Every structure is written in C-alpha cells, then in structure tokens.
Structure 1
C-alpha cells in the first residue's frame, strides 16, 4: 500500500538540504557556554544545522529533563554567532509555540511522542500553517503503521516539508545496539513513500560513540538522506547520554570518511543493484542477530532439561513447531518447503547446543 502525501523537498532559507544532510549537536543544551562552544566547534567542521535537546523526555523521574525554555535564547545566539540553523525536539503544543517564538528553524517529534497519536495530533494542530521542516522519529516500538500515521497527521496539518528520523527500536533482548536498527522498517517506509527523506540517528541506534561511524556508513549505503548525530564539546562530562556522543572533531572525521554513493539521475531516484544488495546485507545482519538470540534460548532450555532430567529431543514439540512454521510461511507468502528446510537446520543446531550444555553440566560433577 502506497501513501499519497502532499510533500515538498526539505529546505531552509538559503540552504537546499541535499544528501547527505548532517544535523549535529549535544543531546542536551546544558549551559549557555557549553551550547555555544559546541556550536562553534561544529561550525568549524562544516555543520550547517545544530541540534540540542531543550525538553528531554526521560525514562525515570529525577533524571535531567532539559533546561526548558531558558535554553532557547542560547540557540538564538548560536544562529547569530555561527550562522547555523537550529533545531529542537517538541513533544506538545507549548514546546511548538516556544520554539517558534525564539526562531527555531527545524523541529522534530521524538520517538516517545510518535508512539502516542493523541500527542502527535496536539503537536500537528500547533504546527498548522507552519512553513518549516518537521522531522518525525520512528516510534519506540517497531510499528511502521504508527510511524506513517504520525507523518500523515503532520502533513494533514498543512506541513509539507516533512522528513523521517530512523533512530532504531526498543527491544527487551540484549544486543550490541541500544536500539535495534531493524533496517527493513525504514526500507519499507521508503518503498511506500519514496519522496519522504529519511535521516538516520546512529547515536540512538548504537548507544556507543565508537559505533556511530559504522552505522552512519550503513545509512549512506542504503541511500538514506542524512544523519542526526549527538556531538558534545566534552562528551565524558555530558549531563545525558554521554556514551553515545562524539566530539565535533570526531564528527568531522566521520563526515570526511563517509562514502556517499549517489544514485539519482535528475529528480527521479533510481534503485541500483548495489543498493539492493546493501539492503540484503543489512537484513542478513539482523537475521544473524536473531539466530544468535534464538540459540541462547536453546542453551537455556538445555540447562533446564538437564536440571529436570528431561530428554533433549521432544518429538511432539518438534512436530508442533514445524507445522506452525509451515502454516506461517504460507500466510506471509513464503514457500513452506523452503521454510521447513531452514527450520530443520535451525532445529539441528539447537539440538547440538543443548547437547553441549548437558555435557558441560555433566562434566562439572
């Protein structure tokens, strides 16, 4: 299903936002000095759009929730001194009104807000008639329809310069990411709304500064439009999300080393063979991470069976799994024979893992 939206290319006064768009700045505006000095250093690295959190939605009460409106004049000074455009996250109508009053150039809606259609509608209503770029982060949960719904609400309010921010998705499982990228979701968003710019947030996906370059390159390989990266003049002293922020100098190195493959001819984007292969590589990475998680559960099952004197092979359970997967394969349009072969190998490896666990436990006696 494709979605018809009334969209215009992202632009700022005097600045056409061409690929790759780079938005950078601290997770939080902490002090006027920290905000201005970080902006100066980023401007020296060629960054044109400055980001800073003014209102910070935190998971637990008592955490630093941003300086609030008092920080907006600092952003105004950033514009005046460096010539950079400034952007902030908004979560309600009050945030929108305050940000616009202080001349903020670009707004974004955060992941927690996107997950709440009532909150998105409040922000959309406040944005009625606003001719500024508005970026919409994916919801915290991997729900593409919820993400598209937020984009549609903002567009129906008359906002035409809209972009999506891919910041990864929360998961209970432990992985190397803070938020799993689930690249297939923004890829599907691109398929459904081809004209919608997608900007990746490697800071929130990784949670680690050392992974930002890798994820940034992956986003470029997938032909996404830009990056929004958290950068602090002194990350180790940051008041929030210190581990995922890079110095402006480090950001400059990441920018310089990015390989940006351009595949557009004229105004019509064209998908190349390399881009399709990059998409396959990204999905394969996710498959391997998922298989890794599955095998860890198999090992836990092996330990449970050992402790409770249960045999490894449970024929009834195996038949139940295979019958269910065969049925599920048909429902999603896959060949049942292909899926059965895949699960035969998965089951074989699961048995091997459980056998190793049992032998290891037995050797302890």
Structure 2
C-alpha cells in the first residue's frame, strides 16, 4: 500500500482542505442543479450526491437510482465540477462508470461486508478513478484497512479513506462517535493514504459540522466531505445534518489551517518534556507490574482468587474522581485504569500458572 496516489484532480489546485460537497440524496433534477450551481459559485469543485441510499429501515427515501446519474452528468457539463456518488454493488459501480462519474465512495455498511467490497472491487478492476472508503459502522480498523486492500488489489491506486464516526449505543452529542484515535492509527499505518472527514455524519446536527471540521483540520486530515443542500429543512433524507451552500462558504472561511512545518525550538523543547514524561510513565508501569506479580505470589500462597471485584470498583471510583480534580476526563482515566488492571491480572495469572 506504499504506492498509493493522492486524491487529486488536474484542474484543482492541491491545497488543504479538499472539499467535497453536495446533498445527502439526489432528490430532483432541480434540487441537484440548484445546489451544484450555488456550490460552484463559491469555488467548490467536487460535487457529491447519493443516487442509491440504503436506509437502516425500509420505508424511507432510498434514492432515485440510475435516473439521477443523468443529473450528475448535467452538473458536470454545466458547472465544470467533478461529480461523485456512493456505490454498494457491482451494478451500481458499472452504471456509475458508464455515466462518467469521476469519484466513487463505499459507505459504512458496504465497508463492513467484505463480500460486497470484493464485488465492487472486481467491477472496478481496470478502471483508473479515485475511490473513497468510509469506515465500517463498528470501530474495526482491520476491517477498514481490509476494504482498502481489496480495492488496491483490484488496481485502484487513487484511494482515500473517509472518517464518518462509529455507531454506539451511547451516542452522547454525536450521531456517530468520532473515536479520533482510529483514523490517527490508520494514518500511522498507511501514511500515503488521503484521509477525509465527514463531519455531517459524525455530528448528525448541522451546528456540529463547523467544530468537527476544525478538529479534523487540527488533526491533519486532507479534506472534508460535507452534506450541503439548497433547502436543507425540506431534504428528503438526513435534513438535520445538511447545511446550505452559504453556510458552507462561511465554514470554509472560518477554518484555521495550521502548517505541519511550523515546529519551533520551543515546541521541540516541549516534545522533549513529553518524551521524558513517557519514559517515567513506563518505568512506573513496570514497577506497578512487579508489585502486581508480588501480589500474585501472595495470593497463590494463600489460595486467594486473582480478581478482587470490590477493590477494583473502589479503585476505579477513587481514581476517576481524582483525575477530574486534576483536570482530566473521567472516561479517559477509567479506560486507562481498565487497561492497566487487565495487564495486572494477566501478570498475576502468569504467576499462578508457574
């Protein structure tokens, strides 16, 4: 995967962020053209619209289908924009190729199904066009990478990823939890991969799109794919997470794009301090594990069980409260302590097995 090419088009200047925008669904020819013209007037060069819209439950608007591809062709012809749509089957891919669609993406539900990904990859074999892959519904990095690899094996080199967040029973303020650590790890594993953020699907509400877009830029994402509709309040699907072209224009002007080469000596000094803290943290963890093994030996000698649930619960509660007093998030410290406790239990189990 080291031979991947960036998602670029010859007539679009290479700059951060690359913006892909358009309505969630292509509803009518008039709606598609009105939105595209407004976006083009503000300099957006890549137009997106869902032609096929798989919904969680039947009965909702599931897209116009192949007829809407002609509307995208008209957008391309009249505005000069590149056009993009989602494909989920070999038939979708073939129809999009025949229509001259410039960019395709695989949705989260498709990415989660290796059979579907392989079907689309086979249909695209031999065609040189960029393809974006949204993260799967669940936070499974290997599944995400696997989908990208299937497309690369089919000869697609202009590959990109789209971070659209992950489904969770506890949604909080977001429609899909960002879990930024997963796309960050994807970038570490595949440094040549172009990565977009989809703040519309992460937030689920239009007022969250701007702050999520800025977070993505602060984390070094290459671009944004934003749902924009000429009349979002009357959209036939996901109206709460779509913004007008004018709102998108204001969002673009508000973004702060930080250069990656602006590291000063002061920043290098702070990073050295971080490295020192990490060294000390590892030494403390190693010391804690040595004590955990000593505890394991004591429990072995006195026929005590490894897991002491009451103490563990007390530890989580006390340390979580302490972390809050120190300016850290309760959920963060609980996750950290759970990982440390799991390793402590593993160390003690090893002692008991000696």
TM-score bin, normalised by smaller chain? 0.7 to 0.9
Contact 1:5 1:155 in 2 (8 A): no
In the TM superposition, 1:67-106 aligns within 5 A as 67-106=64-103
Deviation at 1:347, TM superposition (A): 6.9
Q: Secondary structure at the match of 1:112?
A: helix
RMSD: 2.5
Deviation at 1:129, TM superposition (A): 1.3
Matched residue, 2:47? 50
C-alpha separation in 1, matches of 2:159 and 2:178: 21
C-alpha separation in 1, matches of 2:88 and 2:267: 40
C-alpha separation in 1, matches of 2:14 and 2:56: 33
Contact 2:171 2:177 in 1 (8 A): no
Aligned equivalent of 2:239, options 232, 238, 242: 242
Aligned equivalent of 2:311, options 319, 324, 330: 319
C-alpha separation in 2, matches of 1:188 and 1:349: 26
Deviation at 1:10, TM superposition (A): 1.7
- CA deviations over 1:162-216 (Å, ceiling 9, x no partner): 0000000000013100000000000000111111111000000000001100000
Deviation at 1:317, TM superposition (A): 2.9
Matched residue, 2:18? 21
Unpaired runs of 5+ residues, structure 1, are: 266-271, 281-314, 323-339, 351-365
Aligned equivalent of 1:346, options 311, 315, 320: 320
Matched residue, 1:161? 158
Contact 1:178 1:207 in 2 (8 A): yes
Deviation at 1:155, TM superposition (A): 0.5
Contact 2:105 2:134 in 1 (8 A): yes
Matched residue, 1:227? 224
Matched residue, 1:123? 120
Contact 2:5 2:158 in 1 (8 A): yes
Contact 1:10 1:17 in 2 (8 A): no
Aligned equivalent of 1:192, options 189, 193, 204: 189
Give me the TM-score of the superposition, normalised by structure 1. 0.74
Equivalent pairs, count: 287
Deviation at 1:343, TM superposition (A): 5.8
- Cα distance change on mapping 1:178 and 1:79 into 2, 3 Å: same
Unpaired runs of 5+ residues, structure 2, are: 275-306, 325-354
Deviation at 1:348, TM superposition (A): 7.6
Contact 1:29 1:35 in 2 (8 A): yes
Give me the TM-score of the superposition, normalised by structure 2. 0.76
- Cα distance change on mapping 1:349 and 1:238 into 2, 3 Å: same
Deviant stretches of 4+, over 6 Å: 347-350
C-alpha separation in 1, matches of 2:81 and 2:179: 32
C-alpha separation in 2, matches of 1:102 and 1:174: 38
Deviation at 1:261, TM superposition (A): 1.2
- CA deviations over 1:6-37 (Å, ceiling 9, x no partner): 31122224335432110000000000000000
